[in-house]
Amino acid sequence: MKIKPKNDYKLLGTSIQLDPNKVYDAEHATNQPDWEKHKKIFVLDVDDCGGSFMLGDGDYQIIED
């Protein structure tokens, strides 16, 4: 799926950050508890560094499912 974060997010201690003006690839965080209830996703390959970022309901907008 394609998502757009609603805010700037930065993973502390790393260079991983999300820009609300960009669209990112993401997948459902099926290995997390209550992932469906809280609509948890992993944003994939952030900044081409291979890192991922987990977001929950209200943190992102789905652009393409």
Listing DSSP states for 11-53 in one string gives -TTSS-EE-TTS-EEEEE-TTSTTTTTTT-EEEEEETTTTEEE
Q: What is the pLDDT of residues 12-63, one digit of tens each?
A: 888 888 999 999 999 999 999 999 999 999 999 787 767 788 999 999 999 9
How many structural domains comprise the chain? Answer: 1
HSE-up (13 A, CA, CB side) for residue 49: 11
Tokens of 4: 């757009």
Domain membership of residue 56 as a residue range: 2-64
- In this prediction the pTM is 0.87
